[in-house]
Amino acid sequence: MKKIITISREYGSGGRTIGELVAKILGYKFYDKELIDMAAKESGLSPDFIEKTEQNISSGWLYNLLLGASYATNTTGIGITGSSSSLPLADQIFNTQRAVIKKIAKEDNCVIVGRCADYILKNSKDIDQSSLFNVFIYANLDDKLERSTKKYNVPEDKAKELILQIDKRRANHYNTFTDKIWGRRENYDLLINSSVFGIEGCANVIANLAKNN
């Protein structure tokens, strides 16, 4: 049985919704960006957890995260003021997310969307690799345009550019923090087109494969 399912996805492919459905079908916990960040903040309050994060992330930085200092406010690549860590902020965020993802994956059966979780867990020695299932969801452009305009209220004339930009950003983030290329088959166990099989169809395939393997 696959107990840890990671979902990577193109923007507008419905990957997040598919992940939620898979978690619901299997009775697994569900985590996306917001929930991981929340978990990171909560974890930041636990000195015990902080000690466990592998790159010795400063509590000063976690305090700043708690107070809402965002990545966007620091584009110099230099550590945030007051942080005792010499790591750039982006690295600190990645390291915290990594620690949180590993903690989540060890605690309970779960579905994790985004955040390089596939790579982080595939390269974690303390994760049972046979329980890990890495999925990539993609879709045809027309469906991504429709989803982004109808579900996320993106203006029609901006939708295509936005889709390309967000996926480019996701790819850049992945390619920066891993030694792999985002969306390439070798990183995943399954890649499935949600335009062809639908949101529920994809969720059922993933849930069945998780149950039977």
Biggest CA-to-CA distance, the chain: 50
Q: Least distance to a copy of itself from the beta carbon of 88, Å?
A: 31
> Which residue in the set 186, 199, 203, 207 belongs to the binding site for a copy of itself (CB under 8 A)?
186
Q: Based on CB atoms, which residue is closest to a copy of itself, 67 or 125?
A: 125
DSSP strand pairing (132-138 vs 4-9)? parallel
Strand bridging mode 132-138 / 110-113:
unpaired
> Pick from 136, 159, 167, 203: which binds a copy of itself (CB under 8 A)?
136
Query: Which stretches within the chain are classed as H helix?
Result: 15-26, 33-44, 47-52, 59-66, 89-107, 117-122, 141-150, 156-177, 194-197, 199-212
Q: Which stretch binds a copy of itself (CB under 8 A): 47-55, 118-126, 131-139, 172-180?
A: 131-139
- Binds a copy of itself by CB under 8 A, chosen from 11, 119, 174, 188: 188
Distance of alpha carbon 16 from its chain centroid, rounded? 10
Selected from 81, 153, 179, 185, the binder of a copy of itself by CB under 8 A is 185
Among 32, 41, 166, 183, binds a copy of itself (CB under 8 A): 183
Which region, judged by CB under 8 A, interacts with a copy of itself, from 36-44, 58-66, 67-75, 183-191? 183-191
Burial of 100 (0-12, 13-18, 19+ CB in 10 A): buried
Of 66-74, 99-107, 133-141, 155-163, which part binds a copy of itself (CB under 8 A)?
Answer: 133-141
In 3D space, the residue among 127, 82, 97, 85 whose CA is nearest the CA of residue 36 turns out to be 97
Q: Which is nearer to a copy of itself, 77 or 201 (CB)?
A: 201
Q: Please tell me whether residue 213 binds a copy of itself under the rule CB under 8 A.
A: yes
- Closest approach of a copy of itself to the CB of residue 189, in Å: 4
Distance in angstroms (rounded) separating the CA atoms of residues 203 and 209: 10
| Binding status of residue 171 toward a copy of itself by CB under 8 A | no
Distance of CA 51 to the CA centre of its chain: 23
Q: Are 5 and 133 in contact (CB under 8 A)?
A: yes
Site residues, a copy of itself (CB under 8 A): 133, 136, 138, 183, 185-186, 188-193, 196-198, 201, 205, 209, 212-213
